Amino acid sequence: MEYRNKLVLAPMVRVGTLPLRLLAAEYGADITYGEEIIDHKMVKCERRVNENIGCTDFVEKGTETVVFRTCLQERNQVVFQVGTSDAVRALNAAQLVCKDVAAIDVNMGCPRSFSISGGMGAALLRKPELIADILTTLRRNLDIPVTCKIRLLKCPQDTVELARRIEKTGISAVAVHGRKVADRPRDPAKWNEIADIVAALSIPVIANGDVFEYGDFERIKVATGATSVMAARGALWNASIFSPVGKLDWEDVKRQYIRKSILWDNDVKSTKHTLREMIMHYSCLELPEGKDLIKSETLADIVRLYGEEKYYQFVNENRTMLNGGHREGKFMVAPEI
């Protein structure tokens, strides 16, 4: 996969499942990261081709829990992000999925206590030897590109030093979230500190932080010198941020997202969480839509809430026809109803 001059959908837990990834790609994202999946969880999964939906699932053995769902359509652009604190376990997780995705990324930026206490995410930033072990092990044993996503350290010079060590492992690119571990999302991203890293490295840097409009892609590129740009919240709120013709009305984007959730039978928790975030940004959860969404327990409830019964019925009655296209390498497109 080529990492230069790309628009990238950032990894987002619960949000970056198949419907949002495909929607972002339709609007113009070149590379789409999946949500972080912890290696412990992934190694308990088996790969299953899901003939009914027309996708490939990684399902926790002994359960029907889908941990990761992907499809042929995104094969050349989807990145599997793993949460890990151990090179061998990370490799085992990556080997399960590497034939179905375009690249593997290691999360080295997550500040949540769950990650830190497990030695994962941002905890890795303090362990350059372990970083080198994980990245080198993945790179030597996988045929697809390996990358990582970091945050800034307290001292800019230390971040540059760490980035140089990361580059030496031979990975294909590094994504830099321009915030420090202790920073909150409302703190402005430090584009100037991303620029220091870009200046020090030869591999592509993917700049991340505070991209909310299409024009911000160019602004952050100019400010940092980075070749590629990654957007998280801007894309979660309105996936058409990737469209060069400008953002579409969020109600239209929301409808497309719901239809993709139906088409790919998305986990209701993911669909609900993503819609909740959109509503909280553009509207208010206290209004009837938000209240009804909170009460929804199944995808069918969400279908009723948004008046998508006809579409739901069409998809469910025509899965065989839709999936036939998938098998032939064409892609599933349900007509407008």
Ligand X SMILES: Cc1cc2nc3c(=O)[nH]c(=O)nc-3n(C[C@H](O)[C@H](O)[C@H](O)COP(=O)(O)O)c2cc1C
Strand duo 78-83 + 66-70: pairing = unpaired
Question: Binding of ligand X at residue 54 (CB under 6 A)?
Answer: no
* Single residue of 8, 15, 135, 206 touching ligand X by CB under 6 A: 15
Helix (H/G/I), strand (E/B), else coil: 28 = coil
For residues 149 to 168, the per-residue mask of contacts with ligand X, x marking binding by CB under 6 A and - elsewhere, is: x-------------------
- Residues acting as catalytic residues: 110
CB of 10 to ligand X, least distance (A): 3
* Single residue of 73, 77, 208, 240 touching ligand X by CB under 6 A: 208
* Single residue of 110, 166, 197, 278 touching ligand X by CB under 6 A: 110
Stretch that binds ligand X, among 7-15, 70-78, 91-99, 287-295 (CB under 6 A): 7-15
CB of 5 to ligand X, least distance (A): 18
* Single residue of 211, 220, 263, 278 touching ligand X by CB under 6 A: 211
Return the closest-CA partner of residue 238 out of 20, 11, 13: 20
d(CA 306, CA 275): 11
Question: Binding of ligand X at residue 233 (CB under 6 A)?
Answer: yes
205 is written with which tokens? 């840097």
Cα dihedral angle (40, 145, 33, 95), rounded to 10 degrees? -30
The binding site comprises 11-13, 81, 149, 177, 232-233
Question: Binding of ligand X at residue 174 (CB under 6 A)?
Answer: no
Question: Binding of ligand X at residue 20 (CB under 6 A)?
Answer: no
Q: Report the greatest alpha carbon distance in the chain.
A: 59
| Count of residues engaged in binding ligand X, rule: CB under 6 A | 22
* Single residue of 177, 180, 260, 319 touching ligand X by CB under 6 A: 177
d(CA 148, CA 135): 8
Cα dihedral angle (93, 98, 99, 100), rounded to 10 degrees? 90
d(CA 189, CA 178): 5
Stretch that binds ligand X, among 5-13, 50-58, 153-161, 253-261 (CB under 6 A): 5-13
Q: Are 31 and 79 in contact (CB under 8 A)?
A: yes
d(CA 22, CA 253): 12
The binding site for FMN comprises 11-13, 81, 149, 177, 232-233
Question: Binding of ligand X at residue 144 (CB under 6 A)?
Answer: no
Question: Binding of ligand X at residue 241 (CB under 6 A)?
Answer: no
5 is written with which tokens? 């001059």
CB of 97 to ligand X, least distance (A): 15
**What is the gyration radius of the CA atoms in the chain, in angstroms?**
20
Question: Binding of ligand X at residue 238 (CB under 6 A)?
Answer: no
The DSSP bridge partners found for residue 174 are: 148, 205
> Looking up tokens 């990834």, which residue turns up?
21
Question: Binding of ligand X at residue 13 (CB under 6 A)?
Answer: yes
Question: Binding of ligand X at residue 220 (CB under 6 A)?
Answer: no
Question: Binding of ligand X at residue 267 (CB under 6 A)?
Answer: no
Question: Binding of ligand X at residue 204 (CB under 6 A)?
Answer: no
Q: Are 207 and 177 in contact (CB under 8 A)?
A: no
Question: Binding of ligand X at residue 10 (CB under 6 A)?
Answer: yes
**CA–CA distance from 214 to each of 47, 282, 289 (Å)?**
37, 18, 28
Question: Binding of ligand X at residue 36 (CB under 6 A)?
Answer: yes
d(CA 226, CA 217): 10
Site residues (vs ligand X, CB under 6 A): 10-13, 15, 35-36, 81, 107, 109-110, 149, 177, 189, 208-211, 231-234
